[in-house]
Amino acid sequence: MKKSIVALALLSIGTLTWAQEVGRVISSVQVIQQVSVPRQVCTQEQVAVQQNKSGAGAAMGAIAGGVLGNQIGGGSGKAAATALGIFGGAILGNNIEGAPTPQTQTVQNCTYQNVFENRVTGYNVTYEFNGKQYNVQLPRDPGPTIKLNVTPAPY
């Protein structure tokens, strides 16, 4: 019996303390704020890239120069003429090969830029309850009604 009286007393105190009421929303106006947002902006650019020589001209020149030097030289000078022919042929072959034509490549360059955007940061809400108007700022739009927690005044 004592337990049910205590439970009934606690239940009645709880319902007297907090009553769920609803207010009628009169207006809800967005609060808009400019926010800086970083964005990646990329551009593509054509760039000429110099290619390396293949080395084929120097190799072919060295072979040809070595053969010619070997045929020209005689006796102990034959080795020196062959070496000179290899060296000279490599230089001449490299010059004849020439520089390769530059090739174009597409290069992408990216940077970050700050862009300002308008964002909704909350709502200024005007509502009516018991014949009076109240204002409150909320994080989201409450819709046509707003739930209120009302504490009754003591007698």
Domain chopping of the chain, boundaries: 20-51+116-150, 52-100
> What mean pLDDT is predicted for residues 35-39?
90
> What pLDDT, in 10s, does the model give residues 116-131?
999 999 999 999 999 9
> What pLDDT, in 10s, does the model give residues 129-154?
999 999 999 999 999 999 988 777 77
Percent of the chain past pLDDT 90, that is, above it, reads 37
d(CA 155, CA 76): 131
> What pLDDT, in 10s, does the model give residues 81-112?
777 777 777 777 777 777 777 788 888 999 99
Q: At what angle do helices 56-72 and 77-97 cross, to 10 degrees?
A: 150
Structure confidence at residue 73 (pLDDT): 63
Judged on CB neighbours under 10 Å (0-12, 13-18, 19+), 90 is buried
Say which residue the tokens 């053969």 belong to.
67
d(CA 61, CA 69): 12
